[in-house]
Structure 1
Amino acid sequence: MRVQDGFEEKVIQIKRVSKKTKGGNKIGFTALAVVGDKAGKVGTGMSKALDVTTAIAKALSKARRNVVSVNINENTVPHEVLESFGASTVKIMPAPRGSGIIAGGAVRDVLALCGVKDVSAKMLGSNNKNGAVMCTINALKKMEKK
């Protein structure tokens, strides 16, 4: 994780993709990145490029432009929420103080970067990283103040 402009950066996924052309295969890369300030702001970005470093830089730039504010209530989320994106579904639940982040994969990274310290989450359906990140961000946007 890198810190820049007050935001911590985390690359969630890098994929090698190819396009079939008349002259053969054209190779490219896709990057999925998340940024957060650990104080209630988190954003995600996905981008494609011909090389890995450019794809990551573009994804981080998009993530900084897509930052959303998250309601954090005493180091946890204010209430339980269930959110879907495509075939992925995430259930985020508040947890008692000292529990830590009980979540797996990409969901854990998003929750950590937004600053939630005690939370429990469960991925249902597809565990696709892009779907998991989008589900989690949408669920955090839906959180209301208690």
Structure 2
Amino acid sequence: MAIEETAEEKILTEDIPAEAHKGKEAPKGKLPAAKAPALSNFSERGRRRRAGLGKGPRAKPEFDQKILSIRRVARVMAGGRRFSFSVALVAGDRKGRVGVGVGKALDTPSAISKAFRDAQKNMITVKMSSHFTIPNKVRGKAGSSEVLMIPAPVRGILAGSSVRDVVELAGIKNINAKIISRSKNKLNNARAAVAALSKP
């Protein structure tokens, strides 16, 4: 009688489906079922991007910038020359804030980012009238460069070279600016324009 009971129990255990063995060792002679690989999230991102459901439009940067000059400079070291890039640019929000910056690095993108940070440090606030012009005549100087600025309501921007870039990024729409020195240095001309606009 005991032999028959053990035979029945053995048959019952063999008929139990594989789902009941979760967390236990698999029966002998059978391999455990392989888990399905996790689906990558990249395909879902691609579908959302194509359907227009991504992160949305990029936010407009607070400051605009214009590059005045990019120069390749060299420094003489003990082992030879070491080359780098020097960038000068103007940055402004077109709402009354503007600044000039210079940056130097081994590659151009790093030099541009350094110059932009330097321009942010040197920001000034420009006083403007209701006609988007300066309240009175001013003069600025930087090195051998000298700039004269005269208010000109409803005349537009009458300026050239890097002075025009400074005026536009400051948000001024009506002004008459003139470089009264013979200097053609764009960086000094831009600094002279900023010095003139910083005066009350």
When the two chains are superposed, the root-mean-square deviation of aligned CA atoms in Å is 1.2
- Shift of residue 65 of structure 1? 2.1
- Shift of residue 11 of structure 1? 1.4
Identity over the aligned pairs, expressed in percent?
39
- The answer for the alignment partner of 1:58 in structure 2 is 114
* More displaced 10-residue stretch of structure 1: 106-115 or 42-51: 42-51
* 1:123 maps to 2:179: yes
- Normalising by structure 1, report the TM-score: 0.90
Residue identity matched to 1:39: K
| Alignment map for 1:1-146 (pairs within 5 Å) | 4=61, 6-73=62-129, 74-97=131-154, 99-125=155-181, 126-142=183-199, 144=200
- By relative contact order (CA 8 Å, sep 6+), the higher-ranking structure is 1
Q: What is the CA–CA distance in structure 2 between the aligned matches of 1:132 and 1:83, rounded to whole Å?
A: 9
Q: Tell me, which stretches of 5 or more residues in structure 2 are unaligned?
A: 1-59
| Contact 2:140–2:194, Cα closer than 8 Å, also in 1 | no
Residue identity matched to 2:111: A
- Normalising by structure 2, report the TM-score: 0.66
**Per-residue deviation, residues 38-59 of structure 1 (Å, max 9, x unmatched):** 1111112111111111100100
- Shift of residue 66 of structure 1? 1.9
Q: Tell me, which stretches of 5 or more residues in structure 1 are unaligned?
A: none
- Shift of residue 83 of structure 1? 1.6
**Which structure's residues are more often helix, by fraction?**
2
Q: What is the CA–CA distance in structure 2 between the aligned matches of 1:19 and 1:64, rounded to whole Å?
A: 27
**Which structure's residues are more often strand, by fraction?**
1
Structure number with larger C-alpha Rg: 2
**Per-residue deviation, residues 60-80 of structure 1 (Å, max 9, x unmatched):** 111122211100112111111
